[in-house]
Amino acid sequence: MPHSNTVHVCQSCGEVHAKWAGRCHACGSWNTLQEESGASAPLGSNARISNRTGPRSGLELVDMGGAAEDSRRFKTGLDELDRVVGGGLAPGSAALVGGDPGIGKSTLLLQMAARLAQAGAKAVYVSGEEATDQVQRRARRLGLADAPVALAAETSLEVILSGLKKENPDIAIIDSIQTLWSDQLAAAPGTVAQVRACAQELVRFAKRRNTIIVLVGHVTKEGQIAGPRVVEHMVDAVLYFEGERNHQFRILRAVKNRFGPTDEIGVFEMADCGLQEVANPSALFLDGRGEASSGTAVFAGMEGTRPILIEIQALVAAAAFGTPRRAVVGWDSSRLAMVLAVLEARCSVGLGGRDVYLNVAGGLKINEPAADLAVAAALMSSFMDTPLPAEGIAFGEISLSGDVRPVGRPEARLKEAAKLGFTCALAPAGVESASVRVDKVTTVQNLVHRLGQDAPPRRSI
């Protein structure tokens, strides 16, 4: 019996199934399998292992030490971007920049290409979404019209690859991977088979030619780079560009990086003349903070190696309906439930029957447990309608027993607070500072007491 030449590919994770099924056995998604031609295997040559020096007959061995890598990195001149990629882009690396449509990916990468070109690198920007005159118009508006970046509007992978071979650039930006198609495949552009095959060829090109390839990928509603998560495995770095559309801040975050750390963020502000770097994000995130009011606390957080001060806002209100509402923006809702439960159990505070709203100002997302104390302080401040000192910050992790635990890098957090004019801090035991008065908080009872209550309130729910 002849073998069928069709396979079923999951459009969510890229898993290939021999037979159709309602549910992908790899990622568990329903109705994501699509019939595709079996020719979705690697394109072109059979060489599956990247080859930096052209065709070869045997295994090519080199010293592990190699050249001093940092001296060969391409610095973009945008410090916020260079920090996120680990001190500049490494030659021969492939990166994926993901983000919601309209968040500013094309703007960021055009600015990056222009900076590199102005510094003498050969940069090519291939747009599959916009015509070249649209990109030129944008470049003019950004004041980058005289940067020697080569532009092209093209979606055919074969045309792009042959053009890149001829040009031999130091860096090529492909905007976006979802618009590319290869004539070797029957599948439509944007399908997982096309995206995977195109990305694979471009990554192979990056390794073989020692060119930096930056792929743009649009993110779906669920927060995944549309279609193939497989692309994430192929590239050396995955960067997400995120932010709220109605806030001007944009945050570049590395979620994977073979050449640097993954916990650094770069902060930008979307202005009329493009993306501006924000060297001092704390000042930006605290901008517009008025008089001290109940329910707000300033958290001294760390994003990678950098301290950032962020305002946490809480509102504890009488529940309008039977079941109290809990709404959280910018923090983990289960972590909020834990802090509420600890306050309730250890301090006998009647929060259980009340609506609780928590918001991290500026559209930022906090992942650190070190924010627990600032969250608890904001919640209690709202509950007791007692403002916290306007010149104070807080940090510390709360355990289930109600103890406040030490967190990493306290001195960096306090230094940033002092720099921005804060004079006191609620912090766990063991934290000392010459510039800021440290009010030690060792338990949540301690915190409630400090907020002006001599006896913990005993309210019925």
> Residue numbers of the site for ligand TYD (CB under 6 A)?
99, 101-107, 138, 141-142, 270, 272-274
**Shortest spacing between CB 269 and ligand TYD, in angstroms:** 10
Residues 6+ apart with CB under 8 A from 401: 346
Under the binding rule (CB under 5 A), the answer on residue 179 touching Mg ion is no
Residues 6+ apart with CB under 8 A from 365: 330, 331
Q: Which two tokens stand for residue 303?
A: 């994003």
Cβ proximity to Mg ion: between 178 and 257 the closer is 178
Residue 412 binds which entry of Mg ion, ligand TYD, none, with Cβ cut-offs from 5 to 8 Å by kind? none
Cβ proximity to Mg ion: between 131 and 327 the closer is 131
**Shortest spacing between CB 155 and ligand TYD, in angstroms:** 16
Q: Which two tokens stand for residue 56?
A: 């070869």
Residue 308 binds which entry of ligand TYD, Mg ion, none, with Cβ cut-offs from 5 to 8 Å by kind? none
Binding mask 55-94 for Mg ion (x = CB under 5 A): ----------------------------------------
Cβ proximity to Mg ion: between 98 and 301 the closer is 98
Q: Which two tokens stand for residue 364?
A: 């930022």
Under the binding rule (CB under 5 A), the answer on residue 296 touching Mg ion is no
CB atoms within 10 A of CB 28: 11
Residue 273 binds which entry of ligand TYD, Mg ion, none, with Cβ cut-offs from 5 to 8 Å by kind? ligand TYD
Cβ proximity to ligand TYD: between 111 and 211 the closer is 111
Residues 6+ apart with CB under 8 A from 287: none
**Binding-site residue total for Mg ion (CB under 5 A)?**
1
Could you tell me which stretch among 63-71, 101-109, 324-332, 346-354 binds Mg ion (CB under 5 A)?
101-109
Could you tell me which stretch among 24-32, 102-110, 161-169, 312-320 binds Mg ion (CB under 5 A)?
102-110
Q: Which two tokens stand for residue 213?
A: 């390839």
Q: What strand order describes the sheet that includes 354-360?
A: 326-329, 354-360, 306-318, 296-303, 392-394, 424-427, 437-440
Under the binding rule (CB under 5 A), the answer on residue 11 touching Mg ion is no
The single residue among 40, 93, 106, 179 that binds Mg ion, judged by CB under 5 A, is 106
For 138-285, where are the E strands, in sequence order? 149-153, 171-175, 212-218, 237-242, 249-257, 265-271, 274-277
Ramachandran region, residue 99 (left: φ > 0; alpha: ψ -120 to 50; beta: rest): left
Residue 274 binds which entry of ligand TYD, Mg ion, none, with Cβ cut-offs from 5 to 8 Å by kind? ligand TYD
Cβ proximity to ligand TYD: between 240 and 299 the closer is 240
**Shortest spacing between CB 221 and Mg ion, in angstroms:** 17
Provide the 3-class DSSP secondary structure of residue 372.
helix
CB atoms within 10 A of CB 166: 8
Residues linked to residue 316 through DSSP beta bridges, in sequence order: 356
Contact 161, 113 (CB under 8 A): no
Residues 6+ apart with CB under 8 A from 380: 343, 349, 386, 447, 448, 451
**Shortest spacing between CB 271 and ligand TYD, in angstroms:** 6
Cβ proximity to Mg ion: between 106 and 178 the closer is 106
Q: Which two tokens stand for residue 106?
A: 């094309």
Cβ proximity to Mg ion: between 177 and 379 the closer is 177
Residue 131 binds which entry of ligand TYD, Mg ion, none, with Cβ cut-offs from 5 to 8 Å by kind? none
Question: Contacts with Mg ion in 406-425 (CB under 5 A)?
Answer: none
Cβ proximity to Mg ion: between 172 and 347 the closer is 172
Binding mask 348-387 for Mg ion (x = CB under 5 A): ----------------------------------------
Residue 209 binds which entry of ligand TYD, Mg ion, none, with Cβ cut-offs from 5 to 8 Å by kind? none
Cβ proximity to ligand TYD: between 109 and 451 the closer is 109
Per-position DSSP letters for 95-121, written without gaps between them: EEEEE-TTSSHHHHHHHHHHHHHHTT-
Candidates 233, 290, 218, 249; CA nearest to 80 is 249
Residues at the site binding Mg ion, with contacts judged by CB under 5 A: 106
